[in-house]
Amino acid sequence: MFKKVLIANRGEIAVRVIRACRDLGIKSVAIYSEADRNSLHVQLADFAYCAGPAPSSESYLNQRRILDLAIASGAEAIHPGYGFLSENSKFAKECEKSGIVFIGPRSDALQLMGDKLTSRKTMMDNGVPVVPGTDKAITSLDDAKKFAAQYGYPILVKASAGGGGKGMRLVESEKSLASAIEGARRESEKAFGNSDVYLEKYLEEPHHIEFQIFGDSHGNIVHLYERECSMQRRHQKVLEESPSPIMTGELRKKMGDVAVRAAKAVNYTNAGTIEFLVDKQRNFYFLEMNTRLQVEHPITELVTDIDIVKLQLAVAHGEAIPFSQSAIKQLGHAIECRIYAEDPENDFLPCPGLIKEFSLPSGPGIRNDEAAYSGYEVPIHYDPMIAKLSCWGESRMAAIGTMQRALNEYTILGIKSSLPFHRALVRHPKFLKGDYTTNFLNEALPELSSEFQAEIKDRDFEEALLVAAGIEAFRKEAIGRERPQGRVSARRVWIQTGRQESLRRL
Ligand code: ADP
């Protein structure tokens, strides 16, 4: 096994990889930007080096500097996490050239699957059904109009180099076609330095269901079952679960086989995800392949009992996957909520700042992947996701019950967070029934927001009570009427006195 691995990332995923390294007795090397000096990943790693100033382009995306740090620190491999350089074929190639193992697929697979048009073509050539769309980049408005006339509106304009919803435009009628193509081109050029866009039929109320796949350098490829990722806001996932509530044994078998076939088409190695859209008639279509570890990998780990990050390390080291497809089980149910530093009352605007109190839920069935702690200041420069909360139960309802409890126990004070939104979401009747598609949040948001607004008011009131109770307890200690209890935290007083008592005191 490797002795030393550099983690070219930050936040919860860097923490996740560092923890896997420690479990395996591998020394971890963290890199950080000047804005991340106090980050949890820096505190947890065995070694940590500054990669540059706050902007990602000068630190987490600074390929030369990262490779130099890997070589200088004696790391044999680089784990790229997700985002940043994780799907960058040029970086993977540079690693290969420098004799550093890139923990992910080979650079040629990254290149092939990194472009939506090329990956769609590769899939079609291998008999994998893809979402109906143009097979080349759009070069004339007339061609675009012809496609739309053939398939009917609405259609989607998508950037071939796209990701994270960038360069994607929904077009309801011919009137807005030209401006949507132009807008998507501009956005894609700015984000990815590539202005190629193509058209896809817009599927009405689909499910986004993806399959975790895994390949090794000995020709083995397996899938680790599905994740339901239809709970999306602006086409980005906010909650995921496994298994999918709409899955049947027959559909799972078909989709799993196709996912493995898709991965075999590019001789895929290491962890990857085949994303599908599933329509009302349960037809499924390849959407794209993510050639890296996914944010939502913990739910797969919970239901399969396979540590995907440890497997990534072993397979990158040259080992074979130590189990066959038939040995992989899918047990119970797991749900993940992505916890963001953002204000659900203000259109989910990012809310960086000082976290005064960060207290995680625990107990049976709960897993935390966090990047924050009490006293941590969330920087403004990066994605505002600060933690993930995953829950496991023997059944879907058991997992939901644990998630409801865990979200109620979770405390983040000092900054706004998405917790109130998630608390409302996991109580919604349609979520409870498992009856939701990618359109659900567009429609349910107004209803959910009146619920979480009421809850935020309640919790603000509770916080005021806590502070009042804390002051009262402190006063008593100061005049020696009660035994001193060390540092008086408002939370401790709250737990000790209970709400009734605090109310009485007020
Ligand atoms: P990105 O790579 O930018 O995240 P994806 O192609 O993965 O974009 O799509 C993200 C989400 O957008 C999907 O999960 C789905 O909700 C929606 N979407 C994408 N393509 C279609 C389509 N053809 N029809 C309906 N919804 C789509």
- pLDDT, one tens digit per residue, over 384-432 is 999 999 999 999 999 999 999 999 999 999 999 999 999 999 999 999 9
Between the CA of 6 and the centroid of ligand 1 the distance, in Å, is: 32
pLDDT of residue 489: 55
pLDDT tens digit sequence for 28-78: 999 999 999 999 999 999 999 999 999 999 999 999 999 999 999 999 999
Is 60 exceeded by the pLDDT of residue 22?
A: yes
Q: 151, 273, 287: which to mutate for ligand 1, most atoms within 8 A of CB?
A: 287
pLDDT tens digit sequence for 278-333: 999 999 999 999 999 999 999 999 999 999 999 999 999 999 999 999 999 999 99
- Return the structure tokens found at 411: 């405390």
SS percent in the chain: helix, strand, coil, step 5: 40, 25, 35
pLDDT of residue 249: 98
Q: Which atom, in ligand 1's list, is nearest to the CA of 165?
A: 3
pLDDT of residue 486: 46
Q: Which atom, in ligand 1's list, is nearest to the CA of 204?
A: 25
CB–CB of 366/336 below 8 Å? no
Q: Which helix (H) or strand (E) holds 251?
A: helix 249-265
Work out the number of other CB atoms within 10 angstroms of the CB of residue 184.
26
261 CB burial (10 A radius; 0-12, 13-18, 19+): middle
Q: Does domain 132-201 have CATH number 3.30.1490.20?
A: yes
**Who's near 127: CB < 8 A, 6+ residues apart?**
261
What is d(CA 78, CA 104) in angstroms, rounded to the nearest whole number? 9
**Who's near 251: CB < 8 A, 6+ residues apart?**
282, 284
Question: Scanning the structure block, which residue is given the tokens 């035994």?
Answer: 483
CB–CB of 285/208 below 8 Å? no
The CATH number of the structural domain formed by 337-438 is: 3.30.470.20
Between the CA of 235 and the centroid of ligand 1 the distance, in Å, is: 6
CB–CB of 260/286 below 8 Å? no
Mean pLDDT of the chain: 93
CB–CB of 226/328 below 8 Å? no
Domain 204-331, CATH number (from 3.30.1330.100, 3.40.50.12780, 3.30.700.30, 3.30.470.20)? 3.30.470.20
What is d(CA 339, CA 392) in angstroms, rounded to the nearest whole number? 17
At 169, the pLDDT band (50, 70, 90 cuts) reads very high
Residues with CB under 6 A from ligand 1: 131, 156, 162-165, 168, 200-203, 206, 208, 232, 235, 275, 277, 287-288, 438
pLDDT of residue 470: 79
Q: 113, 208, 237, 442: which to mutate for ligand 1, most atoms within 8 A of CB?
A: 208
- Return the structure tokens found at 302: 């919970």
Q: Which atom, in ligand 1's list, is nearest to the CA of 133?
A: 23
Between the CA of 207 and the centroid of ligand 1 the distance, in Å, is: 10
Between the CA of 437 and the centroid of ligand 1 the distance, in Å, is: 12
- Return the structure tokens found at 175: 């009137």
The CATH number of the structural domain formed by 4-103 is: 3.40.50.20
378 CB burial (10 A radius; 0-12, 13-18, 19+): buried
* Range 466-482 average pLDDT: 73
Shortest CA distance to 412 belongs to which of 488, 472, 337? 337
Edge to edge, what strands does the sheet with 47-52 contain? 47-52, 27-33, 4-7, 77-79, 101-102
CB–CB of 70/78 below 8 Å? yes
- Residue closest via CA to ligand 1's atom 22 equals 202
Q: 209, 277, 283, 288: which to mutate for ligand 1, most atoms within 8 A of CB?
A: 277
**DSSP letter for each residue of 353-406:** EE-SEEE---STTEEEEE---TTPEEPSSS--EEEEEEEEESSHHHHHHHHHHH
- Residue closest via CA to ligand 1's atom 2 equals 163
Q: Which atom, in ligand 1's list, is nearest to the CA of 201?
A: 23
Q: Which residues are catalytic?
A: 292
Q: Which atom, in ligand 1's list, is nearest to the CA of 166?
A: 3
* pTM exceeds 0.95, yes or no: no
Q: Which helix (H) or strand (E) holds 50?
A: strand 47-52
- Residue closest via CA to ligand 1's atom 10 equals 235
Between the CA of 381 and the centroid of ligand 1 the distance, in Å, is: 26
**HEC assignment per residue over 444-506:** HHHHHHHHHHHHHHHHHHHHHHHHHHHHHHHHHHHCCCCCCCCCCCHHHHHHHHHHHHHHHHC
Shortest CA distance to 229 belongs to which of 149, 150, 335, 84? 335
CB–CB of 337/402 below 8 Å? no
State phi, psi for 409 to the nearest 5 degrees: -75, -25
